Amino acid sequence: MNVLLAVLDFISKEILNVPAYLIGIVAAIGLIALKRSVGQVISGALKAAMGYLILGAGATVVTAALDPFGKLILKSTGAHGVVPTNEVITAQASSQFGAASAYIIVLSFIIMLLFARFTPLKYVFLTGHHMVFMSTMLALVLSIGFGSKNQLLVILIGALLMAVVMVAMPAFGQPFMNQVTGDDKLSIGHFNTLGYVVSGSIGAAVGKKSKSTEDIDFPKGLSFLRDSMVSTTLLMTILYLVFAVWAAIVLPAKTAFKIFPSNPDNYGAFFMAAFAQALQFGIGVSIILYGVRIILGELVPAFQGIANRVVPGAKPALDIPIVFPYGANASLIGFLSSFAGGLVALVIIAVWLGPVWGVALILPGMVPHFFDGGGAGVFGNATGGRVGAIVGAFVNGLLITFLPAGLMTVMGSFGLANSTFGDADFDWYGIISGNLAHLGPVAGGISLVVFALLFLAAAWVWQVKVVDAGWIPSKKHAAFIESVKAEEQAAKKASRAAKKAAAEA
């Protein structure tokens, strides 16, 4: 038993917990299925893995640059509360629930492949770190609900729940993903899919005649802002310096200086440290976009082999930065709008929900708002242009503030910790699973199996009736965008004709 546990722990932590390895393995399997040469298999697998490592390196740079920014805001405003951070709560829970999590993640991956092979839900979830977060969350809430003596039940039901959510959520997000990418080759494999679906739906409702964020008409003197790297870095520089000035005014010098890793010893160095972090943020975003291009270039062709041989018709469900190149401006707008939504939700909890209902005070975490909010902005823009990106991401900010507060109510003693899970799908799925588990091993176990099967059936019907039928979330907006493009092309054609006529005259 101990040997099996050690093997499963190694597979889950050292392979499945490293998205790059998982991506490389999948690419290699796909290339082998396509009967590529040994050299091509090795090359494709390495490039795919390296692309994901590059993406991860960019995410690390962004996260490191956002950490001082979050501290600037929180210390300047004096806010206190819980900051949702998946990595922190997973680390806190791993010592107690690590064994169950290891079993869940391995068994759920096998069940997911069976679902992908034998049902219309042809999705292979490849975001390894989110698999670890989800398995830990399920192990935690199910163990608390069933009791520590029912670990086999926790593992079996946890694996079923996780396998279902890994194929169901990509299905619900697929019509919106198709509108983002313009085809049906990729799926979203990130557990904030509820936020993306809500953002895309809101965009379709409010932004039927709103132009795309990517077509923002900058004045001639500001044309340099069309470069996403420049515009992203410039905006973060402004934000960083604004809050740095605020911190310098309201905080003691020693407290303000400790916010930055460099620990400056004077205000000149303090402001330059803020400027340097803003530049680091821009660099991180650029690295992410480069990594995404490599992944797409290597993984998608290789996945054709899996689709043809291993899981016919399968689609890779990938991490949220995969959509950022489809809306560089939208991702930045979404980040800011989601953060604004988080601040509004924070005020609502502080003024009303906290005092009246005892709801935990959830502070905006810069990392979830950047990645989740940025993704929500891209989805909202795809269905509703600029209005959709702003409103959809704002609502996403509300979701990833209110839902973590709800999850803390079913986390037992961990509900008193200083962190919780930060993405919408961890929260709503955990709230339902945790509350059903509290019914006890028998009633709770039966209820959870029924819930999982109903959720799977709903996704199955959605896939057949909606996704496979080619439903477009926002036909009117798509038609509007096409008409705008046609008008622009006609205007350019007329301008060229006028210039040619003038030259001939």
Q: Which two tokens stand for residue 84?
A: 């949702």
> Which band of pLDDT confidence, cut at 50, 70 and 90, is reported for residue 174?
very high
* Alpha-carbon gap, residue 137 to 156, rounded angstroms: 14
> Residues 282, 229: contact at Cβ < 8 Å?
yes
Q: Is the pLDDT of residue 109 over 90?
A: no
Q: What is the pLDDT of residues 414-460, one digit of tens each?
A: 665 667 898 999 999 999 999 999 999 999 999 999 999 999 999 99
Per-residue pLDDT averaged across 237-251, rounded? 89
Higher pLDDT, 87 or 44: 44
Q: What is the pLDDT of residues 152-171, one digit of tens each?
A: 999 999 999 999 999 999 99
Per-residue pLDDT averaged across 318-339, rounded? 90
Closest to 119 in 3D by CA, of 394, 467, 470, 501: 467
> Residues 204, 477: contact at Cβ < 8 Å?
yes
> Residues 167, 119: contact at Cβ < 8 Å?
yes
Higher pLDDT, 72 or 272: 272
Q: What is the pLDDT of residues 291-310, one digit of tens each?
A: 867 776 776 677 666 666 77
Percent of all residues in the chain with a pLDDT value above 70, rounded to a whole number:
92
* Alpha-carbon gap, residue 363 to 466, rounded angstroms: 37
Distance of CA 356 to the CA centre of its chain: 32
